[in-house]
Amino acid sequence: MVRRLAAARVVLGKIWIGCPKGRAARRVSGGAAALAAALSIGTGAQAAPADAGMRTAIVAPQLPGDFRLEYVDPAAPVAMPVRRMAFPSVCLTPGDCLPRGEEATGSPTALAFADDSPPRAVRLPLYGPADTGGGDTGPGPDARRFRSFGSQVGAIKWELAAVLGYYTAINGPKLFQDPTWPHVHKEGWFGINTRNVGVDKLAHAYSAYVISDLLYARLKRKTDDAPGIQFTAAALAMGTMLYTEFWDSIETSAGWSWEDVTFNTIGAGFSALRNSVPGLDRKLDFRLMVMPNSSIFEREGKRHFEQQRYYFALKLSGFHAFEDSPLRLLELHLGYYGDHFTNEERAMGVRPDRRVFVGIGINLRELFFRDSRSRVGRAAGEVLDYFQPPYTAIRFPVTR
């Protein structure tokens, strides 16, 4: 058992424990793997003292999962600012604990950080990747390289190229379908006589929202959460949707629609708001539910829009009062959909339905992927923030 540590240093992703050379160092090296594994789990559970003379130890304090243990020479110079902090004892294995590191004077062990700011608090995730508290902990150390709009765009140039390439591929055939000179077309909003009773407007808002969130996630990863990336992502999403609107403007049966542009802006703006307000992404989603019809799924046309239900989901799991309650599995919905607006139904005199609805749904991400540590599980949980499987919610129409 090692009774004294010469120094302990925490450096962005590593725990370096300095200890005396010789037999003592060799004796603690056997517990390195156990401590590293414990840190990757990060349970923060309390453990009993190893003996009566030792302070209560804590197993696996809450630290990011990529921290690892290394041993260094305590005499090595510290080339970074130092903060004095208490260092709790840590159990390598049950009954084998490193005690609180104290100097002969009884002062707490020195913890050195790579910059002069305190370490960013990392919250163990309820589900998915590590949660840093809704983005309120500030950018990481590499963010200073991505302060400008141009540098942020450059960081995700291939992702942006993939998005633009996708929309070019699906719209390219319009060049060979009797295109016209770009023109403006007034489509209306949610009126009963509009082509798709407004469902297509929500489809535009949703597309801009998803593109913005996708680019934001990539920017957050590649720029170390640089400031302003939510606005860069929203601007790029808006640019992408304006690009698709240009393709609509050369269609004989369509055209450039300012109504579409308005809802593109709303969708991208909601993404920027959701990614700016700390914790809002844990409370509120904008989702799509596709209801099967006689053909199961339609890829385009009015019947395609009839299958779509767009709504906001208020997740009770995002509120502290419900975090440990069964009510965290519930969410409240507010949305809109249309029905019976195909050309055939209109010709038969059927009046289109426009329905605002409220509902109660199951938070499937919270139910199945709350504590998922696998990449597949986290990805599935992310998808469920944007898509709701059919028949997993109860709807109550507000309008008829």
Q: Which pLDDT tens digit goes with each residue over 99-122?
A: 444 333 444 333 333 333 344 433
Q: What is the end-to-end Cα distance of the chain in Å, rounded?
A: 74
Looking at the structure, do residues 226 and 321 belong to the same domain, yes or no? no
Q: Which residue has the higher pLDDT, 362 or 121?
A: 362
Residue whose pair of structure tokens reads 């767009």 in the numeric block: 310
Is 313 within a domain?
yes
Let me know if residue 173 belongs to a domain.
Answer: yes
Alpha carbon distance 27, 95 (integer Å): 14
Domain boundary (112, 134, 156) is at 112
Average pLDDT over residues 173-181: 90
357 and 344: one domain? yes
Domain holding 30, by residue range, is 7-112
User: From CA 284, how far away is CA 313, in angstroms rounded?
Assistant: 6
Res 75: pLDDT: 53
pLDDT the model gives residue 135: 43
How confident is residue 266, by pLDDT bands cut at 50, 70 and 90? very high
CB atoms within 10 A of CB 28: 20
Tell whether 33 and 81 lie within a shared domain. yes
Domain boundary among 276, 296, 319: 276
- Whether 106 and 165 map to the same domain: the answer is no
Are 162 and 269 members of one domain? yes
Radius of gyration of the chain (CA): 28
Residue length of the chain: 400
Question: 225 with 174, same domain?
Answer: yes
50 compared with 247, residue with greater pLDDT: 247
What single-letter DSSP state applies at residue 385?
A: T
Least confident of 11-25, 64-78, 307-321, 349-363: 11-25
Pairwise pLDDT comparison (39 vs 211), residue with the higher score: 211
Q: CA torsion 270→380→333→201, rounded to 10°?
A: 50
Would you say the C-alpha torsion 221, 34, 125, 46 has a positive or negative sign?
negative
Asked if residue 99 lies in contact with residue 89, where contact means CB atoms within 8 angstroms, the answer is yes
Quick one: 292 and 198 in the same domain?
A: no
Q: What is the mean pLDDT of residues 27-53?
A: 40
Instruction: Answer with the one of 247, 276, 305 that is the final residue of a domain.
Output: 276
Distance of CA 179 to the CA centre of its chain: 40
The pLDDT confidence band at residue 153, using thresholds 50, 70 and 90, is very high
Strands (E), 3-89: 7-11, 14-18, 68-72, 82-84
- Is 130 domain-assigned? no
pLDDT at 252: 87
- Both tokens of residue 356? 């605002």
Answer yes or no: do 283 and 293 share one domain. yes
Q: pLDDT at residue 19 above 50?
A: no
Mean pLDDT of 280-297: 91
CB distance 362 to 330 below 8 Å: yes
| pLDDT score for 259 | 95
Indicate the pLDDT class of residue 17, thresholds 50, 70 and 90.
Answer: very low
Reduce the DSSP state of residue 68 to 3 states and report it. strand
Together in a domain, 239 and 327: no
pTM of the model as a whole = 0.66
- Split into its structural domains, the chain has a count of 3
Confidence of residue 400 (pLDDT cuts 50, 70, 90): confident
Span 320-343, average pLDDT: 93
